[in-house]
Amino acid sequence: MGIDDEQTSLAWGRIVLLLVAGLLALILPFVLVTRFLNTSATAGGSTGPPTAAGSGAAHGTSGSVAHPVASTASGKASSGATTTGGALDGATEACRLANLRQQADLAAAAVSLEQFQKHIDAMNLLVAGKITLAVARTYWEQSRVDAGAKAAAFRTADKALSTSKADCPELGPTAACSAPMAQVNAISACVKATRARVAVLERARSAITTWEHHIQDMDMFRAGHLTASQMGAMWTQSWKTGQGQVDTYSAALLAANLVKCPLT
């Protein structure tokens, strides 16, 4: 091979090296950048800090779960408080009305039975020899004035009480535990008072029934439908029965008056 051939081969070798170097210069940066981006993406997804969008989404998801739970719990508490308050208000109002209606019935009973008691007292004094028959008759005439109307007034008040179905219910355990102590005590006192008065009114009805029969007997005697002997026998029976009934009523009333209902 001559000198010219060697120079030509060297020239081509340099050209090839230059071409390879140029290609490497173009390809190598692309490969390195691509690998770097892939590595960064992988590292960022596993260990890097969350992006603003990712952080917001995470907090948003957490908030969407926590807030409804808190809202539900708050709603249940509010609902429970409303229910308890409603039960307490209802019991308070029921006891207040029951107290007022019973008082009206008891007042009418007292007016009627006061007349019957005077009638009985006159008989007791007569039998004991402390007054004459003439004086006893004066007492009887005085104590029979408007007797029928007063007994009827009791029946009207008693019917109104019965029709109203007035009642003072005890508080349930839930309402009693969450209510103010003063209000619980007031309702408890009214429950005891109204129950005691139920017993008083039962005895009043029996006594007034006996009194009504005697009022009718007096009217029949004055109208000439009964003889003095018949009237005497009927009054003796009413007197003995009525005395026991009025005594029982008075004892029940005395006991009931020891328990007061503060709800008026």
Percent of the chain clearing pLDDT 70 (strictly above): 65
Identify whether 202 is part of a domain.
yes
Cα 25 to Cα 156: distance, rounded to the nearest angstrom: 118
Cα 111 to Cα 109: distance, rounded to the nearest angstrom: 6
Residues 131, 194, single domain; the answer is yes
Q: Which two tokens stand for residue 105?
A: 């019935």
Residues 14, 118, single domain; the answer is no
Residues 12, 126, single domain; the answer is no
Residues 17, 93, single domain; the answer is no
Identify whether 155 is part of a domain.
yes
Mean pLDDT for the stretch of residues 65-76:
43
Residues 94, 1, single domain; the answer is no
Q: For residue 167, give the DSSP letter.
A: -
Q: For residue 171, give the DSSP letter.
A: P
Residues 104, 234, single domain; the answer is yes
Cβ proximity of 86 and 176 under 8 Å: no
Q: Is it the case that residue 132 has pLDDT exceeding 50?
A: yes
Identify whether 238 is part of a domain.
yes
Percent of the chain clearing pLDDT 90 (strictly above): 53
Cβ proximity of 214 and 238 under 8 Å: yes
Residues 154, 249, single domain; the answer is yes
Residues 113, 8, single domain; the answer is no
Distances (CA, A) of 123 to 23, 138, 144: 143, 11, 14
pLDDT for the residue numbered 129 = 94
Residues 108, 206, single domain; the answer is yes
Identify whether 57 is part of a domain.
no
Cα 82 to Cα 190: distance, rounded to the nearest angstrom: 23
Identify whether 239 is part of a domain.
yes
Give the confidence band of 15 by pLDDT, cuts at 50, 70, 90: low
Cβ proximity of 92 and 183 under 8 Å: yes
pTM (2 d.p.): 0.65
Q: Is it the case that residue 77 has pLDDT exceeding 60?
A: no
Cα 100 to Cα 191: distance, rounded to the nearest angstrom: 13
Residues 132, 193, single domain; the answer is yes
Residues 29, 98, single domain; the answer is no
pLDDT for the residue numbered 26 = 55
Identify whether 51 is part of a domain.
no
Lowest-confidence pick of 23-32, 118-127, 239-248: 23-32
- Of the two residues 264 and 160, the one the predictor is more confident about is 160
Number of domains in the chain: 2
Domain span at 197: 87-256
Tens digit of pLDDT for each residue in 194-233? 999 999 999 999 999 999 999 999 999 999 999 999 999 9
Give the confidence band of 85 by pLDDT, cuts at 50, 70, 90: low
Identify whether 81 is part of a domain.
no
Lowest-confidence pick of 24-33, 73-82, 109-118, 181-190: 73-82
Identify whether 75 is part of a domain.
no
Coil, strand or helix at 43? helix
Residues 104, 204, single domain; the answer is yes
